[in-house]
């Protein structure tokens, strides 16, 4: 067997004999699985106390905001994916991670390079042993091939790690999208609540203006003291201040919505409209499903897998590397002889390198990789705990606010009734105007509280949907194979 064939055969044997060093990945347990040695409970702690059971086809969908039945909200939400700059940043980070996967995949292929050269050399006639030849030429067309044999799985683990990072970055993108859509919904409900408060206060200002007119007439007729008119005037002016302040709050919500859909605040406006949205029924699902429905949990888990690969990469540094080198080309002294068969040259060989002493650098890198793995495991566990907390928090909030809304409705009716009675007693001369002012203040505050509770219920509904993953599923995460194909299909590099 000729030397080149022997080297090629040896290389093939080493490639087949190569093994992957380092730990195999095992998905870590979560505090939930640690707490429940048996399967988790069939429902969240507060799910059954406020929400009726719903059929399976009522599960969350990706366009979850459509559950609220507001066409204006739907139109705004559709603009987030195409115009929001924060989301574009997250999408660009995903494309960077996918490109890094393609870059690392290239290490499985040999590197082929060339460096053609043409040179002319005139020798000194006074040099030792000079001949009559004054000038020589050198024309060379070399090809160099370099290939690292992945004996210990370092290259394979690097590719896998970059694929897992791309998966995690894709999950980050979905988390950003979910957060931005939720933020827009909350700002929109805040704006509509401000519209409702504005209408209530404007109507109240009109009513208080009429009350002032009636009171002033009574004062002018001697039926009431001057202090009654002063109290009515104060009540009216105080409410006017509150009505003016609402406009500032509404403007801030409108500006926030504009930025979320990628527009300057000066170029965006929404016409006032009442808050006529009812909180939808939200299917909470099973606690055991939550880990598969949150993109942030998926991102944290993928980074645990990536950190596991980094341990293997660090361990592979303890083993020797094997490089296959080959060179071939043509060299001649003139164009006429450049590509003749005698001008062919080649060389092929294997080289193995091993670090004998590095002052503890590899051990430090290995310790660092293991510590980074422990960090990602802790982050994954904390992310799952936070997820369950957010679901339970918002389930509890919705349960409490549902009851609070009923109580507030009753209180509002009572307050309006008290205001009516106090006004009638004042007209009849049986009560002072202070009593009227007191009941007016209580009635207005109760109506404002009712609007605020409705907004808080809508906000809690959005936050619950966000906590449940917004319709995302772990199956939506791209596989590493699909990411590899996507990179290959992007065209020449």
Cα–Cα distance list, 427 to 13, 24, 148, 204, 215 (Å) = 106, 85, 98, 19, 9
Mean pLDDT score, 361-381: 96
First to last CA, the chain: 39
Q: List the structure tokens of 150.
A: 């992945």
Q: In whole angstroms, what separates CA 23 from the centre of its chain? A: 29
Distance CA 444, CA 379 (A): 47
Mean pLDDT score, 225-249: 92
Identify the CA nearest to 215 among candidates 203, 227, 206: 227
**H helix and E strand count, the chain:** 11, 5
pLDDT at 432: 84
Identify the CA nearest to 193 among candidates 261, 279, 268, 265: 279
pLDDT band at 51 (very low <50, low <70, confident <90, very high): very low
pLDDT at 380: 96
pLDDT at 15: 52
Please indicate whether residue 46 or residue 247 has the higher confidence score (pLDDT).
247
Mean pLDDT score, 463-476: 93
Distance CA 65, CA 263 (A): 21
Q: What is the largest CA-CA distance in the chain?
A: 137
The answer to whether 441 and 235 have CB atoms below 8 angstroms apart is yes
- Whether 231 has a pLDDT exceeding 80, the answer reads yes
The DSSP letter of residue 471 is: T
Please give the domain boundaries of the chain with CATH numbers for all domains.
24-125+157-319+361-488 (1.20.1600.10)
pLDDT band at 40 (very low <50, low <70, confident <90, very high): low
Mean pLDDT score, 74-99: 96
- Whether 122 has a pLDDT exceeding 90, the answer reads no
Q: List the structure tokens of 368.
A: 């660092």
**pLDDT per residue as tens digits for the range 171-189:** 999 999 999 999 999 999 9
Please indicate whether residue 491 or residue 290 has the higher confidence score (pLDDT).
290
Distance CA 92, CA 405 (A): 44
**Cβ neighbours around 439 below 10 Å, total:** 22
- Whether 86 has a pLDDT exceeding 80, the answer reads yes
Q: Is 147 helix (H, G, I), strand (E, B) or coil?
A: strand
Distance CA 257, CA 245 (A): 19
């Amino acid at each position: 067997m000729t030397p080149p064939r022997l080297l090629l055969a040896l290389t093939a044997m080493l490639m087949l004999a190569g093994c992957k060093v380092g730990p195999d990945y095992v998905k870590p347990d979560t505090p939930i699985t640690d707490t429940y040695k048996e399967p988790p409970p069939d429902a969240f702690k507060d799910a059954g106390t406020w929400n009726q059971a719903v059929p399976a086809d009522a599960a969350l969908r990706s366009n979850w905001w459509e559950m609220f039945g507001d066409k204006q909200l739907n139109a705004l939400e559709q603009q987030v994916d195409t115009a929001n700059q924060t989301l574009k940043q997250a999408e660009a980070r995903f494309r960077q991670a996918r490109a890094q996967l393609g870059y690392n995949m290239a290490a499985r292929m040999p590197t082929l390079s060339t460096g053609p050269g043409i040179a002319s050399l005139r020798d000194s006639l006074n040099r030792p042993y000079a001949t009559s030849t004054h000038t020589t030429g050198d024309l060379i067309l070399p090809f160099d091939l370099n290939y690292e044999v992945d004996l210990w799985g370092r290259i394979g683990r690097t590719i896998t790690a970059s694929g897992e990072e791309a998966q995690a970055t894709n999950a980050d993108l979905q988390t950003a999208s979910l957060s931005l859509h939720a933020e827009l919904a909350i700002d929109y409900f805040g704006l509509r609540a401000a519209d409702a408060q504005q209408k209530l206060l404007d109507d109240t200002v009109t009513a208080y203006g009429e009350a002032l007119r009636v009171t002033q007439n009574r004062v002018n007729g001697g039926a009431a003291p001057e202090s009654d008119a002063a109290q009515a005037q104060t009540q009216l002016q105080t409410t006017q201040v509150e009505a003016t302040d609402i406009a500032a709050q509404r403007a801030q919500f409108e500006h926030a919505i504009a930025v979320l859909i990628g527009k300057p605040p000066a170029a965006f406006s929404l016409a006032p409209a009442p808050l006529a949205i009812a909180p939808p029924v939200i299917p909470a699902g099973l606690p055991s499903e939550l880990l598969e429905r949150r993109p942030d949990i998926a991102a944290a888990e993928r980074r645990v897998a990536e950190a596991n690969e980094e341990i293997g990469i660090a361990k592979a540094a303890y083993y020797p590397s094997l490089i296959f080198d080959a060179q071939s080309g043509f060299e001649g002294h003139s164009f006429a002889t450049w590509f003749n068969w005698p001008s062919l040259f080649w060389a092929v060989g294997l080289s193995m390198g091993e670090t004998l002493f590095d002052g503890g650098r590899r051990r430090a890198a290995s310790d660092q990789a293991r510590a980074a793995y422990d960090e990602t495991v802790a982050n994954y566990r904390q992310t799952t705990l936070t997820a369950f907390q957010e679901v339970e928090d918002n389930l509890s909030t919705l349960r409490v606010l549902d009851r609070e809304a009923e109580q507030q409705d009753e209180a509002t009716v009572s307050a309006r009734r008290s205001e009516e009675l106090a006004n009638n007693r004042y007209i009849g001369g049986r009560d002072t105007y202070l009593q009227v002012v007191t009941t007016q203040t209580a009635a207005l505050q109760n109506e404002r509280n009712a609007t605020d509770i409705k907004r808080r219920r809508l906000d809690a509904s959005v936050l619950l949907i966000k906590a449940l993953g917004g319709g995302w599923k772990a199956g939506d995460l791209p596989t590493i194979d699909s990411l590899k194909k996507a990179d290959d299909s992007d065209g020449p590099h």
